Amino acid sequence: MTPETSRLASELLPLARKVAQAAGQLLMQRPAHFDLTEKSVAIDFATQMDEKAEAQIVEGILAARPDDGIIGEEGAARESRSGITWVIDPLDGTVNYFYGLPGWNVSIAARDSEGSLVGVVNAPTINSLWHAVRGEGAFHNGQKIRSTSGVSLDRAMIGTGFAYDVADRTEQIAMVASLLPRVRDIRRMGSAAVDLCHVGMGALDAYFERGLNEWDWAAGALVATEAGADVAHVGDGDRKLTVAAGPGLFDALQEALARVEF
């Protein structure tokens, strides 16, 4: 990393942490229980909070860096005049949030021409804040983390996720059915960003999911790679397969997934 890029990252990271933590505090203002017999009301509330969080994040970023670009899951879009674009998922794990399950998070990355430079994932319900800077390692609550390495496929704990559209789940079901007899176990926890961070800290040995958007993985993938894991987006179009795993497992998992028939 050049001195100029290092200086820039040292400016971007505190801002990313600040807006991610503020958005997490906003989102924690969720009723302890929704009346799930009135799901439309609960869904509307979750959607409103998602949009409020994105608006707050964007406002905080542009107040500090008005020439930066924005890509937000909820539609915020702004061309960059500075060379830095922020990739924002204001509420990753919306279904978890809706049902009151842990692990939903705020995911924020700042990227330059080479990819994600800074990434922050804030998951307040599990008291976790991950951050990474390209070339400078990855951290969980301030402690440096490392992915697992040398884990064989048959001993691997693997995370995955499923598409919202049930029509897209046929291939995902086939992947799980193929892998389940061959691995230690599979977890589906409901948040791509946290799953990628869990690979980075060794809580998962690997993770795969098809159909992620950039805001789903921009911060978490940087955490995983800076912690020593390999991350790849395989294929073309909207149905790319994201695969993350520690050294020694990555190739075996990719090969196993490539052989799945559905």
Global pTM value: 0.94
Does residue 35 carry a pLDDT above 60? no
Does residue 64 carry a pLDDT above 60? yes
**What pLDDT is attached to residue 198?**
98
**What pLDDT is attached to residue 222?**
98
Residues 79-118 have pLDDT tens digits of 999 999 999 999 999 989 988 899 999 999 999 999 999 9
The pLDDT > 90 percentage for the chain reads 79
pLDDT tier for residue 171 given thresholds of 50, 70 and 90:
confident
**What pLDDT is attached to residue 70?**
98
Q: Are 67 and 164 a contacting pair, CB within 8 Å?
A: no
**215 or 171: whose pLDDT is higher?**
215
**What pLDDT is attached to residue 125?**
97
Q: Are 158 and 205 a contacting pair, CB within 8 Å?
A: yes
**39 or 179: whose pLDDT is higher?**
179
Comparing C-alpha atoms, which of 225, 234, 260, 228 is closest to residue 146? 228
**What pLDDT is attached to residue 76?**
86
From-to residues of CATH 3.40.190.80 in the chain = 153-258
Residues 207-252 have pLDDT tens digits of 999 999 999 999 999 999 999 999 999 988 778 999 999 999 999 9
**What pLDDT is attached to residue 44?**
75
Does residue 262 carry a pLDDT above 70? no
The secondary element (H helix, E strand) that includes residue 195 is helix 192-201
Residue 155 neighbours by CB under 8 Å, 6+ apart: 183, 184, 205
Mean pLDDT of 13-34: 90
Does residue 260 carry a pLDDT above 90? no
Does residue 33 carry a pLDDT above 70? no
Q: Is 34 exposed, middle or buried (0-12, 13-18, 19+ CB in 10 A)?
A: middle
Architecture of domain 3-144: 2-Layer Sandwich (3.30)
**What pLDDT is attached to residue 40?**
57
Mean pLDDT of 130-150: 98
Mean pLDDT of 173-187: 95
Range name among 30-39, 57-66, 109-118, 135-144 with the lowest pLDDT average:
30-39
- CATH classification (class only), 153-258: alpha beta
Mean pLDDT of the chain: 93
Does residue 36 carry a pLDDT above 90? no
**What pLDDT is attached to residue 41?**
58
For every residue of 142-167, DSSP letters joined together read TEE-----S--GGG-EEEE---SSGG
From-to residues of CATH 3.30.540.10 in the chain = 3-144
Q: How far apart are CA 170 and CA 160, in angstroms?
A: 14
